[in-house]
Chains A and B, each alone.
Chain A
Amino acid sequence: ETGVTQTPRHLVMGMTNKKSLKCEQHLGHNAMYWYKQSAKKPLELMFVYSLEERVENNSVPSRFSPECPNSSHLFLHLHTLQPEDSALYLCASSQEWLALSSYNEQFFGPGTRLTVL
């Protein structure tokens, strides 16, 4: 399998549930990202991992907990979410993180469409 994969593609959960989103990249990249995309809003960067270390946390509530066990895998653990957390969650990877100020393409997975009831 190539590129960036995400599972599950769709998830419906109650506010008291615990679930995890999984992302895997087969591109040999060193940086991985979690984004949130809500309807008609810009992509919001949530977390950045570079060489398995978290380098950015954009004031994301603690009910979202990322985990990066190795450079190919990224998880987003979800706990006691709110209905306003319903959105498309996109994982992305790029060759390097520090090169973001230059022309460093991000490759996205297909996303997980999350609905919180």
Chain B
Amino acid sequence: RKEVEQDPGPFNVPEGATVAFNCTYSNSASQSFFWYRQDCRKEPKLLMSVYSSGNEDGRFTAQLNRASQYISLLIRDSKLSDSATYLCVAGGGYQLIWGAGTKLIIKP
């Protein structure tokens, strides 16, 4: 079983739509959670951390469900520039475990 599992996609979404990604993690001891964004042929960059109570940053909302061990990312009013691969990350024990990413394509 993969330690951090994501749907690889691609998700093809029209501009302006709302899109949601889920990610599951296997290590119940994980303590910190993140969403990173990686553009094609570029390095990953932090999009947002995921807090226990859920958090929002503009059009982006992240949620954590510890009981079910999953993390979600919601993007509202999607823009063409949101096209990228979104990487889910779970941390604990001095190491980050990365998902393989979900590819998002926003179409005009």
A interface list, Cβ under 8 A from B = 40-43, 45, 48, 55-56, 90, 97-98, 100-106, 108-111
Contact = CB atoms under 8 A, between A and B. Distances in A.
B56 to A, nearest CB: 16
B43 A100 contact: no
A108 B32 contact: no
B100 A101 contact: no
B54 interface: no
**Dominant secondary structure at the A interface:** loop
A101 B8 contact: no
B96 A41 contact: no
A56 B42 CA distance: 25
B46 A106 contact: yes
**Dominant secondary structure at the B interface:** strand
B91 A100 contact: yes
Given A97-B94, A103-B49, A108-B43, A42 B4 contact: yes
B100 A42 contact: yes
Given A42-B99, A45-B96, A101 B4 contact: no
Contacts of A45: 95-96
A101 B31 contact: yes
A55 B94 CA distance: 10
A48 B94 CA distance: 10
B98 interface: yes
Contacts of B34: 103, 105
Given A100-B32, A108-B43, A56 B95 contact: yes
Question: Considering the complex of A and B, which 5 residue pairs feature the smallest CB-CB distances, nearest first?
Answer: A108-B43, A43-B98, A42-B98, A42-B100, A103-B49
Given A41-B100, A100-B32, A102-B32, A108 B94 contact: no
A15 B20 CA distance: 43
Nearest to A41: B100
A39 B22 CA distance: 21
Given A42-B87, A103-B32, A106-B96, 20 more contacts: A40-B8, A40-B100, A42-B2, A42-B4, A42-B97, A42-B101, A43-B98, A48-B94, A56-B95, A97-B94, A100-B32, A100-B95, A100-B96, A101-B31, A101-B32, A103-B34, A108-B44, A109-B43, A110-B43, A111-B43
